[in-house]
């Protein structure tokens, strides 16, 4: 059985290894640009010869500012006989003669055979491209087109005030986004309320001036599992790196729909200000159909008037303590997946305050670890 390769959207493992540039090159120090990792085994193989020729033929793309190339060699002859050539800027090689890096990236089969793979990483060191080698000529053409279409890294510029939020693409793949939207359209949504503290209780309310949205609870087990696995594998590592917080539990499997025909919106609010919501740590707004509607931005008024959005399948993650608003959808329908994340310590608070809820049911949380 083959190892499961690292999927698009998942974090690439960090490693340090001897290279053509350094006796101990740390891959995490290259973050901030796009990276090609080519696991080719040996320069004398069909793929090894072709991928190295390919890299040098498009060397202008590998400028170290926007994109760089690393070949990963398992053959000591590549070093001792100078079979591959470093080019600075942009083209370097890791000497992985013990195959530790190759095993870390799951490209070695249980029988010891290398899967010839090219991973493309984004500036946050997350996999955004996976190319299994094939002998077809289109392989290198497709890889070249993919690399040429990568967005350019913006040049150095003065920072402007912004909210402390994460915008993370590639959390849900297009097929999952479409499946969730289809599920909502089939099952339909119900009016979504909000919680307020009244006389020490957490009371569910409806007020269309404050919030207008329809929600659908996901009851399909396979869909729920798919959502949980992707949040766990692709989103939680980014949250832990940015905020040093390890989420272990997720509340709510809901699809929210903001419909322009209902002037749907959610005015400025915080997500953890009542006794029975104080356990919430991070909110996730995961966009399912960006580009198919107008309006419907996220705002964080305490940090300026900027509008935030993520690509379809991408998420915006922020502290539940932040004041935030979903602006009115002016055309079409905005579909969202909207969980809250917390940890085991917060789960105790959640359990202790459950009896204070009046007028709204709260889904049981699911562990994500």
Give the Å distances, CA to CA, from 36 to 67, 251, 314, 351, 368: 8, 36, 22, 46, 30
At 31, list the tokens. 């973050």
Q: Which of 144-148, 160-164, 323-327 has the lowest mean pLDDT?
A: 160-164
Q: What is the DSSP letter of 169?
A: -
Buried b (16+ CB within 10 A) or exposed e, 305-326: eeebebebbbbbbbbbebebeb
Q: Which CATH number fits domain 16-148: 3.40.190.10, 3.40.30.10, 3.40.50.460, 3.40.50.300?
A: 3.40.30.10
Residue 291 reports pLDDT greater than 80: yes
Residue 351 reports pLDDT greater than 90: no
Q: Which of 170-184, 278-292, 347-361 has the lowest mean pLDDT?
A: 347-361
Of 249, 245, 257, nearest in space to 214 by CA = 257
Give the Å distances, CA to CA, from 77 to 9, 24, 195: 34, 20, 66
The ranges assigned to domains in the chain are: 16-148, 166-367
Tally of CB atoms within 10 A around 248: 17
- What percentage of the chain carries pLDDT values higher than 90? 75
Cβ–Cβ < 8 Å for 113, 21:
no
Q: Share the mean pLDDT of the chain.
A: 90
Residue 165 reports pLDDT greater than 90: yes
At 130, list the tokens. 């996976």
Q: Which of 18-22, 64-68, 84-88, 365-369 has the lowest mean pLDDT?
A: 365-369
Strand 357-358 versus strand 201-205 pairing type: parallel
Cα–Cα distance between 278 and 86 in angstroms, integer?
A: 54
Model confidence pLDDT, tens digit, residues 224-254 = 999 999 999 999 999 999 999 999 999 999 9
Cβ–Cβ < 8 Å for 7, 127:
yes
- Mean pLDDT of the 186-212 span: 77
Q: Which of 41-45, 192-196, 209-213 has the lowest mean pLDDT?
A: 192-196
The whole-number pLDDT of residue 54 equals 93
- CA Rg value for the chain: 24
- Mean pLDDT of the 182-193 span: 91
Residue 308 reports pLDDT greater than 90: yes
At 187, list the tokens. 């099952």
Cα–Cα distance between 162 and 184 in angstroms, integer?
A: 33
38: burial class by Cβ within 10 Å (0-12, 13-18, 19+)?
Answer: buried
- Mean pLDDT of the 255-275 span: 92
Q: What is the DSSP letter of 316?
A: E
Kindly compute the dihedral angle of the four CA atoms of residues 130, 168, 284, 302, in this order, to the nearest 10 degrees: 180
Its pTM stands at 0.86
**φ/ψ (deg, to 5) at 17:** -160, 160
Cα–Cα distance between 239 and 355 in angstroms, integer?
A: 30
Model confidence pLDDT, tens digit, residues 67-100 = 999 999 999 999 999 999 999 999 999 999 999 9
Class of domain 166-367: mainly beta
Residue 7 reports pLDDT greater than 80: yes
């Amino acid at each position: 059985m083959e190892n499961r390769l690292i999927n698009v959207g998942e974090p690439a493992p960090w490693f340090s290894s001897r290279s053509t540039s350094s006796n101990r090159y740390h891959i995490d120090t290259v973050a901030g640009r796009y990276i090609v990792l080519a696991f080719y085994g040996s320069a004398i193989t069909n793929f090894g010869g072709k991928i190295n020729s390919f890299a040098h033929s498009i060397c202008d793309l590998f400028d170290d500012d926007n994109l760089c190339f690393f070949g990963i060699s398992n053959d000591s002859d590549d070093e001792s006989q100078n079979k591959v050539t470093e080019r600075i800027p942009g083209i370097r090689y890791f000497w992985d003669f013990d195959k530790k890096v190759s095993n870390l990236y799951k490209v070695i089969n249980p029988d010891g055979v290398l899967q010839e793979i090219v991973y493309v990483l984004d500036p946050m060191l997350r996999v955004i491209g996976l190319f299994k080698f094939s002998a077809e000529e289109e392989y290198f053409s497709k890889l070249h087109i993919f690399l040429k279409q990568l967005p350019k890294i913006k040049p150095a510029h003065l920072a402007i005030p912004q909210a402390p939020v994460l915008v993370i693409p590639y959390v849900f793949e297009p097929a999952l986004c479409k499946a969730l939207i289809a599920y909502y359209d089939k099952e339909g949504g119900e009016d979504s309320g909000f919680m307020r503290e009244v006389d020490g209780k957490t009371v569910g309310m409806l007020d269309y001036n404050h919030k207008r949205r329809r929600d659908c609870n996901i009851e399909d087990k396979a869909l729920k599992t798919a959502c949980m696995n992707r949040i766990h594998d692709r989103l939680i590592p980014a949250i832990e790196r940015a905020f040093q917080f390890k989420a272990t539990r997720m509340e709510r499997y809901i699809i929210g729909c903001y419909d322009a025909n209902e002037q749907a919106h959610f005015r400025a609010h915080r997500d953890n200000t009542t006794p029975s919501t104080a356990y919430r740590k991070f909110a996730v707004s995961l966009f399912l159909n960006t580009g198919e509607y107008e309006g419907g931005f996220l705002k964080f008024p305490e940090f300026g008037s900027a509008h935030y959005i993520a690509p379809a399948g991408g998420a915006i993650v922020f502290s539940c303590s932040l004041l935030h608003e979903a602006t009115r959808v002016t055309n079409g329908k905005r579909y969202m997946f909207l969980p809250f994340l917390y940890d085991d310590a917060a789960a105790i608070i959640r359990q202790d305050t459950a009896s204070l809820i009046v007028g709204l049911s709260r889904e049981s949380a699911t562990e994500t670890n």
